[in-house]
Structures are given as structure tokens and as C-alpha cells.
Amino acid sequence: MSARPPRTVTLAGESVAYAVRESDRAERARIDVGLDGVTVVVPAGAAVDPARLLRDHADWVVEHAREAAARRERLPDRRFEPGATFPHLGEPHEVVVETRSYSVVGEGTLRLAAHHVADTSVERALETLYRRRARARFERLAEAHAAAMGVDYDRIEVRNQRTKWGAARRPGRSA
């Protein structure tokens, strides 16, 4: 993958900054609009005019860019350090880094294993804890629903999805 410097294009009377990223995995060009801005992802080596793609979808891009900017404004400033507060299941929890074998969620606390923080960062340790907790929760729900439906499932994957949510895979697998 390679990234190019940011560019701008006028869409629906507004100047919109965007980045272009080549991807070896992309099968077709797409537009990603997120908290970090607008990105046109193109298959490596493809002859795609990113500005034209954006102009072809101008109303959609402008609408989603506005929504992302509004969400970005509402986001609290995050400090990834001990003592910071992060939500867990809708409730605020304080980050505590301590000597322990693995990270856990305690009453009002996110207790991170010091060795994991030292090897990575508070942010990465939090992400790992959230993913582990999410997987356990999804597995419990999947087991209950699969039993009620009389079906089985193989596994659940928790990924950092940016363009697809709840993708169905081959029978018995969900991502």
C-alpha cells in the first residue's frame, strides 16, 4: 500500500480535502469517509481518476464528510494514560495499569496488565481488552441465538473493520 499527499476537489460548491491510497487488496475503487477525512482507495496499478470518482458521488461525499466532521467535534479529547476515563458498556471506567497476568474490567476500572502496556502502549492494551471482551460477549449471544435457531456456528472474528460491519462468511463463520 502506498499513500499520496492530500489533494482538494470542489464538490457541490465546497472544497473537500482527500487522500488517495493504493491498495493491493482492493478489487475496485471506493471512497472512505471517516473521522480522519476522505480517502479514495484505488486498486494498485489501476487507471482511476480519484477526483472524477468524487465528483460522480459529490452529494454523498459532502453529506458524509459533514457528518464525520460533526462527530469529530463531539469526540472528547482522549489521553491514553493511567487515570484517563473510557467507556465500557456505556459506563465510565478509569484506566489503571498494574502488575497482573492479563487485563480485566473491574468495578469502574479498566485494569491493564503493566507488561502489556510496557510492550505496546495504553491504547493498544485497551484495544486488546475491548476486543477480547467484545468477542466473549458476541460468542455468548451467538451461542444463545444459534441454539434458538437450531444452527451451529464455527467462530466469530472481531476486527478493526472500516468498510463492512457484520460481514457474513461461509456457513458457520461471522466477522
Domain layout of the chain by residue ranges: 2-74, 85-174
Which pLDDT does position 22 carry in this prediction?
Answer: 92
What the block records as the C-alpha cell of 98 is 498494574
DSSP-assigned beta bridge partners for residue 91: 88
Residue 16, pLDDT above cutoff 90: yes
pTM above 0.85, yes or no: no
Average pLDDT of span 15-31? 92
pLDDT tens-digit map of 91-137: 999 999 999 999 999 999 999 999 999 999 999 999 999 999 999 99
CA gap 88, 111 in Å, rounded? 12
Which pLDDT does position 152 carry in this prediction?
Answer: 87
